[in-house]
Copies of this chain bind each other. A is one copy, B any other.
Amino acid sequence: MKKTLYVINPNSNTGVTAGIDAALDILRQDDAPIIECVTLKEGPPGIQTQRDVDLAAVLVREFAEQHREDAAGFVTACFSDPGLHSLREIPDVLSLGISEGAALAAMILGRTFGVIAILDVSIPRHMRAWAAMGISDRVAGEVAIGRTVAELSDSEATLTSMIEAGKSLRDKHRADVLVMGCAGMARYRESLQQAVGLPVVEPSQATVAMALGRLRLGW
């Protein structure tokens, strides 16, 4: 039986899941695990607070328990990596988080990376995560675009604010690489990269690509 790599969007926003799903098409292959993107319907509408993250962590693990039979692996596809260390307690599957994966990908693209966050309130949480990973010296900084979920639906304005944040990370924080601090926004990656002139890491793509390579190795 062919195994599945589950990419879990831990919020209940199916639009985000669709965005992730489309971005991963390029990685799908016949002789590789199925890539299935799922929405956690009981998840919060968006993951903004630590409370959201903690709740998502439980739901992500529950989902994984229900699907471990046919799972090749799990990717928790929210930039706070909810449930990542819990997923790793499940033996014989590979588990990754898109924040960790994006950071590792960025580290081969330049000395320091800057993160375009959605909300200011997430930045201290991200900073704790970078420190916990032991890679704070590689983080140039984070800049939030400060847009609510509603405001994110305006694509043009969202891209404009991401470009502005990216330029600030490039010029004030001296970032060599940009990381998009959110899932489901792959469609902006290329425009952002062109406008800012720095390599841009889209976290879901970066992480799933890494997962597939590891799954092919079988270890």
In the complex the two chains form, is A132's CB within 8 Å of B132's CB?
Answer: yes
Indicate if A199 sits at the interface (CB-CB under 8 A). yes
Least CB distance from A138 to B in Å reads 5
Does A154 reach chain B (CB closer than 8 Å)?
no
Chain B residue with the shortest CB-CB distance to A210 = B213
Asked if A219 and B51 sit within 8 Å, CB to CB, the answer is no
Tell me how many residues of A have a C-beta within 8 Å of chain B: 61
Contact B89 A111 (CB under 8 A): no
Using an 8 Å CB-CB cutoff, how does the interface string of A60-93 with B read, 1 for contact, 0 for none? 0100000000000000000000010110110000
Copies of this chain per assembly: 6
Contact A217 to B27, CB < 8 A, known contacts A50-B86, A83-B54: yes
Q: Bound complex: CA of A104 vs CA of B209, how far in Å?
A: 14
Given known pairs A57-B57, A133-B107, the reply for A85 and B125 (CB within 8 Å) is yes
Is A100 close to B, CB under 8 A? Answer: yes
Instruction: Give chain B nearest CB distance to A66 CB in angstroms.
Output: 14
